Amino acid sequence: MTTRLSEGDQAPDFTLPDADGKPVSLAERRGRKVLVYFYPAASTPGCTKEACDFRDNLAELNGAGVDVLGISPDKPAKLAKFRDAEELTFPLLSDVDKEVLTAWGAFGEKQMYGKTVTGVIRSTFLVDEEGRIEAALYNVRATGHVAKLRRDLKI
């Protein structure tokens, strides 16, 4: 069973390449809140809907002092195509080895169409200014997820 993070845990640090291959680290965002969300695959219907919801709400999130980072096991080139096609304006990070996904409990067994499979568990985390988990949400829905986050965070 995959170890899951809980409220109050220290967020596992990471440095991953973005869609352009440039390194992005969680540590460089200390002092701001960060929404880190994990999604299965760029350019798929659910992941596109979720990413576009984050894009459409980014000004309000940023205005409330919250940055957004999306992480998937896709290679940077696929992320760049996804970013450009959907006009995404926040960093998409590549975790091809799934080390960060695993450290955050966002990779492991899940139910899909009634079967147990191993893969990315759609998850979102709010990391506070000191790098601690403020909220850990696993098995989130792609549709309506950002609206629920904004309600819960009062943004």
Tell me how far apart the alpha carbons of residues 53 and 28 are, in angstroms, rounded to a whole number.
Answer: 25
CB 67 within 8 A of CB 32: yes
3-state class of 102 per DSSP? helix
Which residues does the annotation mark as catalytic?
Answer: 47
Tell me how far apart the alpha carbons of residues 144 and 150 are, in angstroms, rounded to a whole number.
Answer: 10
Tokens of 55: 């894009």
- Measured CA angle at 4 (ends 135, 15), to 5 deg: 80
CB 93 within 8 A of CB 78: no
CB 35 within 8 A of CB 135: no
Q: Are strands 66-72 and 92-94 parallel, antiparallel or unpaired?
A: parallel
